Each structure stands twice: as structure tokens, then as C-alpha cells.
Amino acid sequence: MEPRLTRDKLLESVNEISRSPVKVYSALEDFKEILIEERKKTTPRGLIVDVHTSAPSRIIVFGDIHGDLDTMLELLDRSGSFSELEKDAKVVFLGDYIDRGPKQIETLLAIYLIKKEYGDKVVTLRGNHEPPDYLPVNPHDYPYQLKARYGNVDGERIYGVSKEVFDLLPHAYIVEGKAVFLHGGIPVFRTKECGGDYRCILDVGPHPSKVLEEILWNDPVDDEEIEFTPSPRGAGYLWGPLLTDEFVSKTNVKIIVRGHEPVWSGYKFNHNNRVATIFSRKGSPYYNAYASVMILDVEDLRYEILTI
């Protein structure tokens, strides 16, 4: 059976919408509506939970895209994502769709169109480049690219609705007993403070700004001596293997899958293979040799890394 979406159909729709600021605006308004509906099924602050009976059989994970639409389309195609989405699979995007790269609005539109077509089977997480107002990121050339392309007035309006979309993106996805997916990393203070309740650890709860900052910004370090330490990025923390031990034993997940760090080979593992980093874009300014996606079998947690 031909999948409902193909690379060519997706690209054709993206190009058609992106030519018109009116169409871009209404596409992003529609993205908002879809995310508002989704939020009724997540925790109030946007943690998506799959229990054993609702878990997909396979999860295809995309890391940072940062405006590299061409690589993203190639990876969607080569990983069989469209036909997998017709079966019992989910596709998870780990955030950072915009800033850097030539096709930022196109990338955001492609994410929207895939989400629109496949609904809950597509998880579109928030990255630190889809920031709330209190966590500004640098560089953030997306609003300038919008203005250069659509003019000041329309560019400003499209940026406004984009920010409303960003605020509605879920911040984490967990498959109980199996895996957790988020952009940057596990929140260090919550991991220490909460008992065995993963919602306490991963939901942004009563102090949303601090926990969200960590989930969007944290990075793993392999140093056994470090439990956690402030990140040189200026936001979030670096967390070490001891904290991963604590997190996996409290939440009972086996693997933490995240993006956020550019990697030469498109992927890397830390903390004895319990933390996976996936990076799905190429080109300036990182010049990594490969971009990758992870294809994860949920039942036995075996995975394949596809690199291009």
C-alpha cells in the first residue's frame, strides 16, 4: 500500500505553503489547534506517556534538524518512516527545527504536515531553539529569516504564531519501563528530589521554568567524578553517569534518547550506552560527516542507527 505521505508529496505541500505568508500563518494556526487537542491527552504541562498497552512496536527518532530540510527528507525516506507510520510505529522528533540552515520555515511546515497526517503517531518535542520568552537562545535567526522572506509585518505575525506553537510543543515522551525521549537531558534536581514517580521527575510541575530549562539544555558527561555541574553553555547542567544510574533505577527506563549536541558521526552513546544522542542534520556551522536516525524496537530495545 502506498503511504498517505511520501517525500515528494510532503515537499510539494511544503513548497506550496511556504510561498504564501497567508498560508504559512494559517498552517501554524492549525498546528496550534492540533497541539491543543494533543495536550488534552498529555499531562497538563506536556509530558506524553505511553504505558505497555499503548506503546508502539517501533520508534524512529530524529535529532536536531536546524533547517536542514533536505537531510530530514532523505532520512524520512531511507528509514521507511512513511510506511512505518502506516503500521504500528511512532516517529519522534527531538526538537530544534529552526535557527541555522537555509530552510527553517520549510522544516517547521514539514513537521506540521507529518503531525497533521499521522496525529498521535508523531511526537514533536520542544528544543531549546523553540524557546519560551524567559529562555532566550543564541543564535536565533528564525525571526530575521521570516522578515527577510515575508516582509516586516507578515514576518512578525508569523513569528508570533510560531512562538504560540513552541509553547504548545510537549517537552518529553516516556514509554513506561522502556525509554524516555527529550531534547537535552534529564533534570538533575528533580531526579534527586523525586522518589520513583517518573511524572514527578519529568513533568515540569510547580517550577516549570527551571525544570524546562534543564530538559531543554542539559548534556551528559562521562566523568565518573561529576554528578552534575553547571553547563558551559550558560544554561542547564552537565550530568554524569551517577545521576543516570539514579534516574534509570527510579523511573525504570532503560535508555534516555536525546539530541542537542552536534556529533561528527551523527550519533553517540554515553553512560554505558544508556544515553543516546541523535543528530539529524548536516552542513554549516557543524560540518559533521553524518546525520542519523535511531530505529528502536520497543519490545527488546534493540536499535539500528541509520546514517547518511
Least distance from Mn ion to the Cβ atom of residue 82, Å:
26
Instruction: Return the number of the residue (18 or 104) whose C-beta is nearest Mn ion.
Output: 104
Instruction: Return the number of the residue (157 or 260) whose C-beta is nearest Mn ion.
Output: 260
Least distance from Mn ion to the Cβ atom of residue 152, Å:
28
Instruction: Return the number of the residue (128 or 218) whose C-beta is nearest Mn ion.
Output: 128
CA-CA distance, 235 to 218, in Å (whole number)? 8
CB 271 within 8 A of CB 244: yes
Q: 140: phi > 0 → left, psi -120 to 50 → alpha, else beta; which? A: beta
DSSP for 44-112, written as a single string: TT-EEEE-GGG--SEEEEE-B-TT-HHHHHHHHHHTTHHHHHHTTEEEEE-S--SSSSS-HHHHHHHHH
Least distance from Mn ion to the Cβ atom of residue 232, Å:
14
- CA-nearest of 92, 137, 83 to 111 is 92
Residues at the contact surface with Mn ion, assessed by CB under 5 A: 96, 127-128, 260
Least distance from Mn ion to the Cβ atom of residue 23, Å:
28
Please identify the residue of the shown chain whose CB is closest to the bound Mn ion.
Answer: 260
